Chain A
Amino acid sequence: MSIRDQKPLRVVLYEGRDSTPLEGEQRFAAVSRLLQQGFAITRVGGAGRTAPADDSAALVLGRFGGEKAADFSAGTSNGQVRVRDITGLDAEQVAAEVEAARSERQAPAPGAWKPWFPVIDYDRCTNCMQCLSFCLFGVYGADDEGHIQVQNQDNCKTNCPACSRVCPEAAIMFPKYKAGPINGDVVKDSDLQREKMKIDISALLGGDIYSMLRQRSERAQSRFSKERDSDKALNERQKCLTKLAQAGDIPAEVLMSLPTPDEILRRAGEARAKAQAALAVQQR
Chain B
Amino acid sequence: MPPADNTPAPGILYCHCTYAQIIDPAVKAGVLRRLCDSGRSFEAVADLCELSARRDPALARLARGPGVKIAACYPRAVKWLFASAGSPLDPGATEVVNLRELPEDAAAARLLADDLQTNLPPDKSSAAATSTSSPAS
Known: A48-B12, A122-B80, A183-B73. A43 touches B54 (CB 8 A): no
Q: CB-defined interface of B80-120 with A at 8 Å, one 1/0 digit per residue? A: 11011000000000000000100000000000000000000
Known: A110-B46, A143-B137. A119 touches B80 (CB 8 A): yes
Known: A50-B41, A123-B124, A176-B22. A184 touches B32 (CB 8 A): no
Looking at A23-31, A229-237, A270-278, the stretch in contact with chain B turns out to be A23-31
Interface residues in A170-229 by Cβ distance below 8 A to B read 173, 175-176, 178, 180, 183-186
Neighbouring B residues of A117 by C-beta, 8 Å: 49, 53
Output the least CB separation between B133 and chain A (Å). 9
Which residues from chain A contact B84 at a C-beta distance below 8 Å?
119-120, 150
Q: A49-B9, A54-B58 are in contact. Are A119 and B81 (CB under 8 A)?
A: yes
Q: B53 touching A115 by the CB < 8 A rule?
A: yes
Decide yes or no whether A263 CB sits under 8 A from chain B.
no
A46 within 8 A of B: yes
**Does the CB pair A49–B11 fall under 8 Å?**
yes
Contacts of A173 in B (CB 8 A): 76-77, 80
- Contact check, A50 vs B42: say whether CB atoms are below 8 A apart: yes
- Point out which of A3, A44, A50, A114 has the most chain B C-beta atoms below 10 A from its C-beta: A50
Which of B29, B53, B57, B80 has a CB less than 8 Å from the CB of A120? B80
Given the complex, which residues of B lie within 8 Å of A31, measured CB to CB?
A: 32, 36, 44
Given the complex, which residues of B lie within 8 Å of A184, measured CB to CB? 73-78, 80
* Interface residue count on the A side (C-beta < 8 Å): 59
A48 to chain B, nearest CB (A): 4
A34-42, A65-73, A96-104, A242-250: which one contacts chain B? A34-42
In Å, the complex CA distance between A110 and B53 comes to 14
A150 to B86, CA, bound (A): 12
Interface string of A112-142 (1 = CB under 8 A from B): 0111110111111000000000000000000
- Given A49-B11, A49-B41, A111-B19, 14 more A-B residue pairs with CB atoms under 8 Å apart are A21-B39, A27-B36, A28-B32, A38-B19, A38-B47, A40-B43, A43-B43, A46-B38, A50-B42, A51-B43, A113-B50, A122-B128, A173-B80, A184-B74
Identify the A interface with B (CB < 8 A).
3-4, 6, 8, 21, 24, 27-28, 31-32, 35-52, 54, 110-111, 113-117, 119-124, 143, 145, 147-150, 153-154, 173, 175-176, 178, 180, 183-186
